[in-house]
Every structure is written in C-alpha cells, then in structure tokens.
Chain A
Amino acid sequence: EVQLVESGGALVQPGGSLRLSCAASGFTFSSYEMNWVRQAPGKGLEWVSYISSGGTIYYADSVKGRFTISRDNAKNSLYLQMNSLRAEDTAVYYCARETGSRDYFDYWGQGTLVTVSS
C-alpha cells in the first residue's frame, strides 16, 4: 500500500526556518517525481515545488529563493527546507507523488501544518 506521511510542521516566528519531511512507503520511491502542495487557511490548493527522479527541480515564484526541495532515495524521504518564513507561508503542506505520462498526482499525504506567527 502506498503511503506518504508528512512531518515537521510547527509554529515558527516570521523570518524563521523549518524543515518538512515526507516518508514514503509501498512503492519504489526513487523512480517517482514528487511534489509539495500547500493550502493556506480558507484558501485553495497551491503547488509549491517539484523534484524529479533525476533531480530536476522547480519552485513556485512565491517560494523561490527561500525554499529548497530535496530527496534521499536511500531513506525513501522527501524534504522541504523552508527559510525566511512569512505569515503568508502559513498552510497545511502536502507531499504528493506524480505519475503517468500526463503527470498527475495519484497519492497524497495527510499534510502537516506550518504556522508562521509571532
């Protein structure tokens, strides 16, 4: 059974840093592209970042230069290093597996809450 479990969410002050993790199981993690998607309170889904199986990386403009996505295939884990956090980064962060020739997100985690507030 495919499982994605996020962790690392917390309350952090503006300007602070946080590292989110996503533990994957039930599939060959190294073969899949992975994404981070977030949902701010009362808002819709917002794509944040992508990493391919080969290490190609993309970011949303809203987080470029502040967030870093990475993966450790030996540990079946995906990460999101979040620096210079702002109030507008407050959201539930989901990791999602991307698959297929049409690049859809077929499995998602339950999410981890990041709150940026003083």
Chain B
Amino acid sequence: DIQMTQSPSSLSASVGDRVTITCRASQSISSFLNWYQHKPGKAPKLLIYAASSLQSGVPSRFSGGGSGTDFTLTISSLQAEDFATYYCQQSYSTPRSFGQGTKLEIK
C-alpha cells in the first residue's frame, strides 16, 4: 500500500500570507495526486487534481505542483475562507490513501 505523508500537520498563518503544504508518497505515483479542502460539518471539496490541474470554480490562488513522490499545494494569498484542513490523496492505486491532513489556522 502507498503511504502519504503531509507536512506540516498544522500551520498558523495570517490573511494575505503565502503558504505551502507538502505531501510525500512512499513510492512514485506519477501525477496521480489530488488535494482536498475540508471544513467541519461540510463535504470535502476537490481543489487540485492530477497534481497541478485546478478544479473548475476553485480560485486561482490555489496551485499544485510536483510529480513522482513529492508534491506541493500553495495558496498564494490566504483569504479568511481558506482556513480549513487540507488533504492530499493518491489515486495511483487502491487503496486510495489520504495524507493525515494539514490544519490551517488563523494566526
């Protein structure tokens, strides 16, 4: 099974900051990497698919990069509505494993 490891586990930042979350796969997954945003009591939301493709309707301040085993999610200028937990997920093989999550909190 492929293990996904995110860092950091939590992050404090201010509105307007640029933040980057990293995700590492235990083996190469090409670009089969997706990012989701999850807020309490809400459905998870797809942000980025195939490592760097922005899902329709997602603001352009979100971007993804990487391939193979190392990936990043960057938010160029944090907005108040971006404070949430972010998960990476590999879709290279089953089980479709998620990272442990990165909780983005207001500083």
A interface, size bucket: 20 to 34
Q: What size tier do the contact residues of chain B reach? A: 20 to 34
Which residues of A are found within 8 Å of B50, using beta-carbon distances? Answer: 100-102, 104
C-alpha gap A101/B89 in the complex (Å): 15
Q: Choose among B43, B87, B95, B100 the residue that contacts A110 (Cβ–Cβ < 8 A).
A: B43
> Do B96 and A50 touch (CB < 8 A)?
yes
Is the pair A46, B98 in contact by a Cβ cutoff of 8 Å? yes
Interface residues of B (CB under 8 A from A): 31-32, 34, 36, 38, 42-46, 49-50, 55, 85, 87, 89, 91, 94-101
Give residues in A with beta carbon < 8 Å to B. Answer: 35, 37, 44-47, 50, 58, 60-61, 94, 96, 98, 100-106, 108-111
A sample of 5 more A-B contacts (CB under 8 A), given A47-B98, A102-B31, A104-B49, is A45-B38, A45-B89, A104-B34, A104-B50, A105-B44
